[in-house]
């Protein structure tokens, strides 16, 4: 039973990693396209791509927050292994669970602050300067993704799931 659950979690991890890799890859392609068009327009035609800076900022935000679930699934957060490399068995499991709960709490606080910021942007009807795109949906989406990552990381801690294989799709 535990082996079946582990296999299911492994398949879910791979599927989510693959989905985020594809989405982030497409967004990186779009970012590259926008940058190349902007540079060609700016230096060869003396006519930069209108709103390229804003599109670049929004694409970077999308890449970061859409990649966050893969980082959480892989336990790929930056860490310093001064003592944890020496831990084995039950102590290692306790350390992993504690680290995940700490990450989950931090992500929950970030999600809460992003949500508040999104509501504040909505109340001001804040938009980008050139494209006039509303900023509230972007902050709200980032808050939702971060909140989902917090819940996912906490669940991984409570279920005692093994660490993910970093970078494997």
Q: For 31-35, 72-76, 145-149, which range has the lowest pLDDT when averaged over its residues?
A: 72-76
Indicate if the pLDDT at residue 5 is higher than 70: no
- Cβ atoms of 78 and 63 within 8 Å: the answer is no
Q: Is the pLDDT reported for residue 63 higher than 50?
A: yes
Instruction: Using pLDDT thresholds of 50, 70 and 90, give the confidence band for residue 118.
Output: very high
pLDDT in tens, 119-146: 999 999 999 899 899 999 999 999 999 9
Whether 100 is covered by a domain: the verdict is yes
165 pLDDT more than 80? no
What is the C-alpha to C-alpha distance for residues 137 and 20, in angstroms, rounded to an integer?
Answer: 20
Higher pLDDT, 148 or 17: 148
Residue 167 lies inside a defined structural domain of this protein: no
Residue 164 lies in a domain: no
Q: What is the mean pLDDT of residues 20-42?
A: 93
72 part of a folded domain: yes
Confidence band, pLDDT 50/70/90 cuts, at residue 166 = low
Q: How far is CA 35 from the centre of its chain?
A: 22
In a domain, 56, yes or no: yes
Residue 169 located in a structural domain = no
Q: Which domain holds residue 97?
A: 2-159
Domain count, the chain: 1
């Amino acid at each position: 039973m535990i082996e079946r659950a582990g296999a299911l979690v492994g398949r879910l991890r791979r599927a989510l990693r693959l989905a985020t890799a594809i989405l982030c890859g497409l967004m990186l392609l779009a970012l590259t396209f926008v940058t190349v068009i902007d540079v060609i327009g700016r230096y060869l035609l003396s006519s930069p791509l209108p709103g390229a800076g804003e599109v670049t900022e929004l694409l970077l935000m999308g890449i970061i927050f859409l990649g966050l679930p893969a980082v959480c699934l892989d336990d790929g957060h930056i860490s310093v292994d001064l003592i944890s490399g020496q831990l084995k068995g039950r102590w290692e499991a306790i350390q992993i669970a504690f680290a995940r709960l700490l990450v989950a709490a931090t992500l929950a606080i970030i999600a809460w602050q992003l949500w508040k910021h999104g509501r504040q942007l909505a109340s001001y009807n804040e938009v980008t300067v050139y494209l006039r795109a509303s900023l509230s949906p972007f902050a709200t989406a980032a808050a939702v993704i971060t909140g989902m990552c917090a819940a996912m990381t906490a669940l991984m801690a409570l279920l005692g799931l093994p660490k993910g294989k970093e970078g494997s799709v």
